[in-house]
Amino acid sequence: MIQTGAIFRFPADRADKPLISHVIRDCEVEVNILQARITPEQDGHMFAIFSGSRSAVDSAFDYLKKNRVRVILPARNLVWDEDACVHCGACAGQCPSGAFHVEDETRKVVFEHDKCIACELCIPACSYGAVESIADHLKRTGEL
C-alpha cells in the first residue's frame, strides 16, 4: 500500500462529473481530500492523498488525466528554517505524511523532505514563521 499526495487542476467543464467517485469505486483507491475548490464557474483545484496499491493509484491518476484533469505530483514545496523553529510540535500535529515529527528522545521537531506531500497544513500551524512555501520564501528573500 502506498500513499501519494497530489494537486489536481480541474477544468470548469468537468465539475459536474463524478470523477473522484469513479476512481474510488473502480480503481479501488482511498482518497483523503485535504483541500478542494471545484465549481462549474471557473477552473478548480484539489489537494488529496490517494492510498492503494501502486497500480491502483497509477490507474486512478491515468483516469483523471484522460478526463483532462491535470495531476501534479509535488516533490518538495516547503522551506523549514530550523533556527526559527522553537520545536513546539504544532507543525507535526498537522502533518498527515509524518514529514514533520517530534523525536521521542530529544523532543525536537525533525523535517524529512522526502516524506513531504506539499499539503501546506504546517504553514498556518507555525506561529513562528519557521515553515513557508517555496513561493513565499522566494518572494520574501529573492533566493532559495
Pick 78-141's CATH classification: 3.40.50.1100, 3.40.50.12240, 3.40.50.720, 3.30.70.20. 3.30.70.20
The H or E element containing residue 116 is none
**Which grid coordinates are listed for 51?**
492510498
Domain boundaries, the chain: 2-72, 78-141
Per-residue pLDDT of 47-73, as tens digits, reads 888 999 999 999 999 999 999 998 877
Contact 51, 7 (CB under 8 A): no
Q: Is the pLDDT of residue 143 over 60?
A: no
Dist. CA 76–CA 13, nearest whole Å? 30
**CA angle, residues 50, 33, 122, in degrees to nearest 5:** 100
Q: Is the pLDDT of residue 16 over 60?
A: yes
pLDDT at residue 37, as a whole number: 85
pLDDT at residue 40, as a whole number: 86
Dist. CA 69–CA 64, nearest whole Å? 5
Q: Let me know if the fold of 2-72 is the same as that of 78-141.
A: yes
Q: Which fold has domain 2-72?
A: Alpha-Beta Plaits (3.30.70)
Contact 70, 9 (CB under 8 A): yes
